[in-house]
Amino acid sequence: MISPVTRRLLRDWKRLWHQQNTRYHIRPQDSNLHLWNFALTSKEAEIYGVFFIGGSDTEPIIVMRGFTPNHCFPANKNVNLTHLAPILLTQGLSGFLDQLYRMLDHTSTVGGIRFMQTWNRLMIKDFKAHFPELHASFSPEPQDYALVQQSINSTAKHDHPLQSGFKFRDLSPLSDTIACDNDDKGKDTKRRKLDVSGTAATEGERESDSDTELHRKRRA
Taking the C-alpha atoms of residue 21 and residue 75, their distance in angstroms, rounded to an integer, is 24
DSSP one-letter code for 48: E
Domains of the chain: total: 1
pLDDT score of 111? 81
Asked if 75 and 66 count as a contact pair (C-beta separation under 8 A), the reply is: yes
| Containing structural domain, residue 78 | 4-219
**Cβ neighbour number for residue 129 with a 10 Å cutoff:** 10
What CATH number corresponds to the domain at position 154? 3.10.110.10
pLDDT score of 144? 94
Ramachandran angles phi, psi of 96, nearest 5°? -65, -45
Asked if 49 and 68 count as a contact pair (C-beta separation under 8 A), the reply is: yes
Low-confidence ranges of the chain (pLDDT < 70): 1, 106-109, 157-220
pTM to 2 decimals? 0.69
Q: Both ends of the chain: CA-CA distance in Å?
A: 60
pLDDT score of 183? 39
